Structure 1
Amino acid sequence: MIRTGQQYKDSIRDGRRVWINGEIVKDVTLHPMFKPLVDIRARIYDMQHDPKTAPVMCYKDELGNSSAIGLKLPFTKEDWHAKRASTEAVLNDVGGIVTRVGDETIGEMWSLFDGQDVLNEVNPQFSENIRRHIDKAVREDPFHVSANTDPKGDRSKRPQDQDPDMLLHVVKETDAGIIVRGAKYETAAAYSNQAFTKPTIANWGNAELSDYAVGFVCDLGSPNLKFICRTGFSGRAPAADYPLSNKFDEVDTLVIFDNVLIPWENVLFYRHTKAATFIRSTLHRYSAFAFVQRNLKLADMMIGAALFNARQTGLDKQQAVQEKLAQLACYREGINAHLTAAIATAQKSPGGLMMPNQSLLYTGRVLACSQLHHMMHIARELCGGQICVTPDSASFAHPETGPWLEKFYTINDQWQADDRRKLLAFARDLLNSDYAGHRLTFQLFAQSPPFAHLASVYNNFDWDETLRVVHKSAGLSANVPGGAEAVRQAAE
């Protein structure tokens, strides 16, 4: 039921066509820019078998089989506490942040589970397909990722009025399934097993039926797929100088669908803009929780790096420094409060699942993402300018320059030069490096752009309660639109 790390590695040695830096990748599990994340994902699988970590990683199904907690459909608040603990265990074990490893993306399919009535309007078979695929994910434990964004082209035009491949679309129906063309950006696609592929935020035109309104589960070992990856950060500089870049870079991929066959049993909806609109509006109903939880861990890392730097130089006693540390703490606890409250006040979904309180979850995401760059700047300020001027590890090891660096970077008996260098290298990679800039942009756009974050808040906040309060306090008449109705509903 649960795979080992080696079984995962064997599963992605399937002859897929992967390019990076202009070269074809012979084995994605061994290439230096993919291997660190492949090894981390393999470790997550092995944690499910390790007696020390298996209790927090797995649960027993009704047949007594072990399955991954991250893939389990959530029916209770306890399920969400277990998921949160499982993700925390992973991040603590690997010593950093990884986002696209399955628990954050499988939740997107749960939103379709809630929308089975919408799918049934199109074809009852599609509703059956989503139930089967969710069950299959629990049983077979694949590395599941998500595909949203297309190249898009000229956004002032409809997809029908430009190169049709700018948005993924169906070009042909066959007895075996649909044939699709186009491209999708997918983080981790080059080293994962399957992707939930669905429409981007786009204008499908006025027609109810559209070849662009298609969603499916894609086997990433399928023929006619091509993976063109951005340059990775791993291996570009010594790991001693860039410890995060070399271990935690999740490589993003432009996946080319060059007339790829999607079997009918993998099609979740097709030629129905209502289904496409539904999935876009509810896509992060569950997955936003695991996404925001990563921001909480990032806040911990920023606070730790800043606090160590302040304490080792004795600046933590200054009020100005304490105030900036308090700002970081407020940011961290704000995220923590939203996640905790979202579980405590969880709501039943239309499909009978337990979903985190939607207003609290989405407002927590806005807080985490919109304030991240401010918090990174505060952490930079607290770490000081040495994170951008400190020489590399090779200079510390050199027989001629090493003694000088030992002299100037040793602070006291507790903080010798090597530990000081390691801390500054960590802070630089966390806050100042190419990798740090990439993570900042990724956190801002990974689930959706900022305007969509705010749209989710607008669509899930309880506006009626605010109207009721003002209607009563201001003594408004019963014929004020919305007010009287809100009062009546509150009374009931």
Structure 2
Amino acid sequence: MLRTGEQYRDSIRDGRRVWINGERVQDITKHPMFKPMIDVRARIYDMAHDDATRDVMSYEENGERFSVGLKLPYTKDDWHAKRRATDTVLEDIGGVVTRVGDETAGEMWSLYDGQDILNEVDPRFSTNIRNHIHHVIKTDPFHVSANTDPKGDRSKRPQDQDPDMLLHVVKETDAGIIVRGAKYETAAAYANQAFTKPTIANWGNEAMSDYAVGFVCDFSSPNLRFIARTGFAGRAPARDYPLSNKFDEVETLVVYDNVLIPWENVLFYQHTKAATFIRATLHRYSAFAFVQRNLKLADMLIGAALWNVRQTGLEHQPAVQEKLATLACYREGINAHLTAAIADAEESPGGLLMPNQSLLMTGRVLACSQLHHMMHIARELCGGQICITPDVASFEDPEAGPWLDKFYTLNENWASEDRRKLLAYARDLLNSDYAGHRLTFQLFAQSPPFAHLAAVYRNFDWNEALRFTHKSAGLSDQVWGDKR
């Protein structure tokens, strides 16, 4: 049952308590800092109904249509379909958005693979995860992910400071569990629900903990408060900052003030083994959609840089070509990892088809660890004018405008307005507050860099390198010991 964009907008007009920029929001769908992204998400819903995109964005089963992005992956074709759908969205909206549901739904599939672990503590929990996955497929909500707590003093245990610094269970009732604390969640203020799970990765010897809790939270629940960071949209004219004004995915501190989570929404509780499993496998599916966004971001960097050097006649300079080739290597490196991850996909413990984990996780490290280098190369190629060009108001001023028109017109093909547009785009992509925010987001959105490398360590096949070196060096069999 596919939603329309307007049905989505209606679903978040539910009386939720949202604050941004020091004000209480009355209608989130109309607030200037939320509306651009809400409109983008609504457009994604409508694309599943439009004749031109319906068959890319949705599939038919038993006479009903469902979202491609939310479909459980069983075949390589499922992954190719997901990749096409994401590319179609980014092409349609003309930019990159990450937290729009297809990426975050995959995090629950990881828990689907851990049903045997959930059964150890309570068989109801494995039933709950299956039910929620199928509920998401059937009802098409805007589903996001809740990962990061405020944390507090990380040298101390949560119990040795304000316990609310990490989300935790404070009470059990017949109806469900009561939770307190807070989570930072991108897009939460305008989403329908979240898969909420712990941040802690090292539980020590604890087998039970009130902090080891995972659940699906309905954002229309009472006792939730949404305190968002100030958005970039509306701070400056859209013609000067075209990306900031359209693609800012606002992060929100969601405060759980004794919120009831019904038992049917609890996915695990007091079970540190389940919590450890989900932290170790959380991104085995969702990393694909995340890395795919980096591929489109690489295209934007290349496009902005290449148009700039063509404008100024520098495209054939060897030093310029070298830098463009470096950007191309970065882009194709990401592309190769995504393509190979599908080509060499592997069956998951739960019977799904997951992208090859070693290729996917090394691709994520490439995409995130090299992004700041690629942005700096793009800045070099765009030149210093991206940081000194006046805003559009000066170009339109009756006195200043003619001078700017004179100095920003390059030739008969490149008039000043096109030059200004490209420089404004490059400035917003590379130099603006939004650009810096986006860089940090890509670095931490799926856990910090050390966790990216830890995922590589867990998923890389070390045995093949050991086997060949063992043979090549002529080592004895006893060096394998018990680890062979």
For normalisation by structure 1, the TM-score amounts to 0.98
Question: Could you say which residue in structure 2 is the equivalent of 1:490?
Answer: none
- Distance (whole Å) between structure 2 residues aligned to residue 344 and residue 248 of structure 1: 31
Q: 3-state SS of the aligned residue for 1:27?
A: coil
Alignment of 1:352-367 (within 5 A): 352-367=351-366
- Distance (whole Å) between structure 1 residues aligned to residue 247 and residue 71 of structure 2: 25
- Distance (whole Å) between structure 2 residues aligned to residue 261 and residue 105 of structure 1: 23
- Distance (whole Å) between structure 2 residues aligned to residue 207 and residue 148 of structure 1: 21
1:203 to partner: Cα distance: 4.3
1:28 aligns with 2:28: yes
| AA of the residue aligned to 1:363 | T
Structure 1 stretches (4+) deviating beyond 2 angstroms?
Answer: 201-207
Question: Could you say which residue in structure 2 is the equivalent of 1:114?
Answer: 113
1:413 to partner: Cα distance: 1.3
- Distance (whole Å) between structure 2 residues aligned to residue 308 and residue 280 of structure 1: 42
Alignment of 1:326-365 (within 5 A): 326-365=325-364
1:258 to partner: Cα distance: 0.1
| AA of the residue aligned to 1:35 | K
1:25 to partner: Cα distance: 0.2
1:64 to partner: Cα distance: 2.1
- Distance (whole Å) between structure 2 residues aligned to residue 64 and residue 83 of structure 1: 21
Q: 3-state SS of the aligned residue for 1:315?
A: coil
Question: Could you say which residue in structure 2 is the equivalent of 1:145?
Answer: 144
Question: Could you say which residue in structure 2 is the equivalent of 1:180?
Answer: 179
Question: Could you say which residue in structure 2 is the equivalent of 1:415?
Answer: 414
1:86 to partner: Cα distance: 0.2
Question: Could you say which residue in structure 2 is the equivalent of 1:41?
Answer: 41
1:202 to partner: Cα distance: 4.3
CA contact (8 A) 1:158 1:205 kept: no
Question: Could you say which residue in structure 2 is the equivalent of 1:245?
Answer: 244
- Distance (whole Å) between structure 2 residues aligned to residue 443 and residue 14 of structure 1: 31
CA contact (8 A) 1:197 1:215 kept: yes
| AA of the residue aligned to 2:209 | S
- Distance (whole Å) between structure 1 residues aligned to residue 443 and residue 308 of structure 2: 27
Question: Could you say which residue in structure 1 is the equivalent of 2:12?
Answer: 12
Question: Could you say which residue in structure 1 is the equivalent of 2:219?
Answer: 220
- Distance (whole Å) between structure 2 residues aligned to residue 21 and residue 38 of structure 1: 18
CA contact (8 A) 1:312 1:411 kept: yes
Question: Could you say which residue in structure 2 is the equivalent of 1:325?
Answer: 324
| AA of the residue aligned to 1:416 | A
Question: Could you say which residue in structure 1 is the equivalent of 2:284?
Answer: 285
Question: Could you say which residue in structure 1 is the equivalent of 2:259?
Answer: 260
Question: Could you say which residue in structure 1 is the equivalent of 2:132?
Answer: 133
- Distance (whole Å) between structure 1 residues aligned to residue 238 and residue 140 of structure 2: 31
Q: 3-state SS of the aligned residue for 2:104?
A: coil
CA displacement, residues 150-178 of structure 1 (integer Å, 9 cap, x when unaligned): 00111111111111100000000000000
Alignment of 1:90-489 (within 5 A): 90-204=89-203, 206-481=205-480, 486=484
Question: Could you say which residue in structure 1 is the equivalent of 2:74?
Answer: 75
CA displacement, residues 111-156 of structure 1 (integer Å, 9 cap, x when unaligned): 0010000000010000000000000000000000000000011111
- Distance (whole Å) between structure 1 residues aligned to residue 175 and residue 483 of structure 2: 52
Q: 3-state SS of the aligned residue for 2:174?
A: coil
Q: 3-state SS of the aligned residue for 2:315?
A: helix
**Structure 1: gaps (5+ residues):** 487-492
CA displacement, residues 365-393 of structure 1 (integer Å, 9 cap, x when unaligned): 00000000000000000000000000000
1:35 to partner: Cα distance: 0.1
- Distance (whole Å) between structure 2 residues aligned to residue 314 and residue 123 of structure 1: 67
CA displacement, residues 207-232 of structure 1 (integer Å, 9 cap, x when unaligned): 21110000000001100000000000
| AA of the residue aligned to 1:20 | I
- Distance (whole Å) between structure 1 residues aligned to residue 151 and residue 37 of structure 2: 28
- Distance (whole Å) between structure 1 residues aligned to residue 77 and residue 186 of structure 2: 30
Question: Could you say which residue in structure 1 is the equivalent of 2:53?
Answer: 53
Q: 3-state SS of the aligned residue for 1:226?
A: strand
CA contact (8 A) 2:202 2:276 kept: no
CA contact (8 A) 2:345 2:356 kept: yes
Q: 3-state SS of the aligned residue for 1:248?
A: coil
Instruction: Count residues with an aligned counterpart.
Output: 484
1:3 aligns with 2:21: no
| AA of the residue aligned to 1:89 | T
| AA of the residue aligned to 2:335 | N
CA displacement, residues 41-94 of structure 1 (integer Å, 9 cap, x when unaligned): 000000000000001000112x12100000000000100000000000000000
Q: 3-state SS of the aligned residue for 1:479?
A: helix
- Distance (whole Å) between structure 1 residues aligned to residue 454 and residue 284 of structure 2: 13
Q: 3-state SS of the aligned residue for 2:59?
A: strand
1:206 to partner: Cα distance: 3.1
Question: Could you say which residue in structure 2 is the equivalent of 1:489?
Answer: none
CA displacement, residues 4-50 of structure 1 (integer Å, 9 cap, x when unaligned): 00000000000000000110000110000000000000000000000
- Distance (whole Å) between structure 2 residues aligned to residue 17 and residue 204 of structure 1: 34
- Distance (whole Å) between structure 1 residues aligned to residue 256 and residue 410 of structure 2: 56
Q: 3-state SS of the aligned residue for 2:303?
A: helix
Q: 3-state SS of the aligned residue for 2:27?
A: coil
| AA of the residue aligned to 1:231 | T
| AA of the residue aligned to 1:364 | G
CA contact (8 A) 1:358 1:460 kept: yes
Q: 3-state SS of the aligned residue for 2:441?
A: helix
1:481 to partner: Cα distance: 2.1
CA contact (8 A) 1:60 1:66 kept: yes
CA contact (8 A) 2:224 2:257 kept: yes
Q: 3-state SS of the aligned residue for 2:375?
A: helix
- Distance (whole Å) between structure 1 residues aligned to residue 425 and residue 39 of structure 2: 21
1:477 to partner: Cα distance: 0.6
Q: 3-state SS of the aligned residue for 1:221?
A: coil
- Distance (whole Å) between structure 1 residues aligned to residue 325 and residue 346 of structure 2: 32
Deviates more, 1:158-167 or 1:252-261: 158-167
| AA of the residue aligned to 1:153 | G
1:414 to partner: Cα distance: 1.1
Please provide the CA RMSD for this pair: 0.9
1:355 to partner: Cα distance: 0.2
CA displacement, residues 327-369 of structure 1 (integer Å, 9 cap, x when unaligned): 0000000000000000000000000000000000000000000
CA contact (8 A) 1:204 1:212 kept: no
- Distance (whole Å) between structure 1 residues aligned to residue 101 and residue 293 of structure 2: 13
| AA of the residue aligned to 2:294 | N
CA contact (8 A) 1:158 1:204 kept: no
User: Aligned in 2, Cα 1:240/1:454: closer, same or farther, shift over 3 Å?
Assistant: same
- Distance (whole Å) between structure 1 residues aligned to residue 160 and residue 441 of structure 2: 30
- Distance (whole Å) between structure 1 residues aligned to residue 120 and residue 409 of structure 2: 69
CA contact (8 A) 1:158 1:203 kept: no
Q: 3-state SS of the aligned residue for 2:18?
A: strand
Q: 3-state SS of the aligned residue for 1:430?
A: helix
